[in-house]
Amino acid sequence: MLNRKEPNGLLKYISQIPSEKGIDYWWNERFGSPPLVMMQVDSYGTYKEMVKRGFGYAIIPRVFLQKDDDLFSYDLIFKNGEELKRRTWMLYRKSSLQLASFPSL
């Protein structure tokens, strides 16, 4: 975990920033002002299609990219060298383990 001082003197713990705030923090390190237009849609597939059709860029987890998407990707790395990461969980009911062949969890 890397500490970083903000201009206003607040201490940030980069690896503990929730993903949306982490993206905002990364953006503000790189650019002085927010994007001119921002849009939120209901699926990563929609984001990808909008980018493919020339409607700007999208910040999405790499897991949603396929080689045949033919899109350029860029890792979001803070100026201190730490990569923006997001925590991911799998939620399930214990009874669901009987329905599918999950590895032992």
40-54, 59-73, 88-102: which range is least confident on average? 88-102
Burial class (CB in 10 A: 0-12, 13-18, 19+), 19: middle
Tell me, what's the pLDDT at 77? 92
The rounded percent of the chain whose pLDDT value lies above 70 is 77
Are 85 and 78 within 8 A, CB to CB? Answer: no
Residue 75 is assigned to a structural domain of this protein: yes
Tell me, what's the pLDDT at 40? 84
* Band of pLDDT at residue 11, cut at 50, 70 and 90: very low
* Alpha-carbon gap, residue 60 to 36, rounded angstroms: 19
Residue 8 is assigned to a structural domain of this protein: yes
Residue 104 is assigned to a structural domain of this protein: no
How many domains are contained in the chain? Answer: 1
Residue 42 is assigned to a structural domain of this protein: yes
Range of the domain at 24: 3-98
Tell me, what's the pLDDT at 19? 73
23-27, 75-79, 96-100: which range is least confident on average? 96-100
